[in-house]
Amino acid sequence: MTAKPLGTALSLLFLALPGVLGVPTISCRNEEGAAVDWFVFYKLPKRQGKDGGETGLGYLYMDPSTRSWRRSEKLMNTNRSALGWTLQQLYEAYPSKSNNTAYVMYNDGIPKSSNYSRKYGHTKGLLLWNRVQGFWLIHSIPGFPPIPEEGYDYPSTGRWNGQNGICITFKYSQYEAIDSQLLVSNPNIYSCSIPATFHQELVHIPQLCSKSSSLKVPGRQLTTLQSAQGQNFLHFAKSDSFLDDIFVAWMAQQLKTHLLAETWRRKRQELPSNCSLAYHVYNIKAIKTARQSYFSSYQDHAKWCVSRKGTRNRWTCIGDLNRSPYQAFRSGGFICTQNRHIYQAFQKLVLYYEDCN
């Protein structure tokens, strides 16, 4: 009769003192290496002389405590950046090959390879977790991050254009839902380890990891997720059988909001702003990051959208897909939130957008 209370007491102790008792607290990390519930970053394009610097490694940073964009004093390629601190949790843990930590790295453009396959989703990210919690990093950077054997670095493929991403800390209870979303977005996994202890709850990730998935995949799937500190998110995932523009055909109508979309614009690969359905989608054409710093969407590989000013529902979404006719044939997703600081931060970046004719 004493076994159970003791077990409960011990597990409470583990939850309260995870670092002390050897179960590390995996979470997103800020610019000082401290745990944060979430952060967003916006890597500035290289050409942007004054503000972006000549390196193409400067970035804007925001988390729940900054409440708005801060120009980081770090560069993307140092492990003292928020991404560096966050990913260091994987690079450091990797050599011990722990049985209680799992990770997945995926990218349609895998690091140090010119191979490119359209078989997988147009989706980029990293998950690291144990049975307590972990984080999900969703980003736009081709060829990033390096495999665990190589340690933290930032690739040249991510320098020229703007890039963005979001890191969210999740309790383990959220990973079943994440598992289902990954099945739909069909990531190109280039490095992973899912110890057997996770196989009971997480059905799809181990199969995706071993590239043995032959399951039936829904055309699209929407799920709610909650961060470790209780911030709500909505995750949209579409497969390659949902043959439409995710922004117009699904997200705007589902969120009941007019959206301004910033994605990589390329000549002859553009969908025009679209006011055909109840909720409209407008292409952002230029971004302003400070009073005299602008860049064009042709130099921005970032993928996000934000509710138009004055709209009732104020959403911000960050994710995988561009507004291009070719991306209807690709799987991928977006994670959305109504956090008002995130909304204001992204809204402030919009310099101008294209109206419907």
Ligand X SMILES: *[C@@H]1O[C@H](CO)[C@@H](O)[C@H](O)[C@H]1NC(C)=O
**Residue numbers of the site for ligand X (CB under 6 A)?**
33, 79-80, 85, 88, 99, 113, 115, 244-245, 248-249, 272, 274, 276
Shortest distance (Å) from residue 89 CB to ligand X? 9
Burial of 303 (0-12, 13-18, 19+ CB in 10 A): buried
Shortest distance (Å) from residue 346 CB to ligand X? 23
- Please, which residue, 212 or 276, has the CB nearer to ligand X? 276
CA distances in angstroms from 69 to 62, 188, 208, 223, listed in the order given: 5, 31, 35, 28
- Please, which residue, 33 or 219, has the CB nearer to ligand X? 33
Edge-to-edge order in the sheet of strand 125-129: 70-71, 59-62, 38-43, 163-171, 133-139, 125-129, 102-106, 189-193
Q: What are phi and psi of 234, to 5 degrees?
A: -125, 130
- Please, which residue, 52 or 121, has the CB nearer to ligand X? 121
Host H or E run for residue 236:
strand 232-238
CA distance 284 to 275: 14
Query: Residue 301 catalytic?
Result: yes
- Please, which residue, 53 or 272, has the CB nearer to ligand X? 272
- Please, which residue, 86 or 174, has the CB nearer to ligand X? 86
CA distance 84 to 151: 10
Shortest distance (Å) from residue 32 CB to ligand X? 10
Shortest distance (Å) from residue 154 CB to ligand X? 13
Neighbouring residues of 210: CB distance < 8 A, sequence distance ≥ 6 = none
Active-site residue identified among 122, 235, 258, 301: 301
Q: What is the 3 state secondary structure string of 277-292? A: CCCCEEEEEEEEEECC
Do the beta carbons of residue 185 and residue 239 sit within 8 Å? yes
Shortest distance (Å) from residue 275 CB to ligand X? 7
Catalytically active residues, by annotation: 301
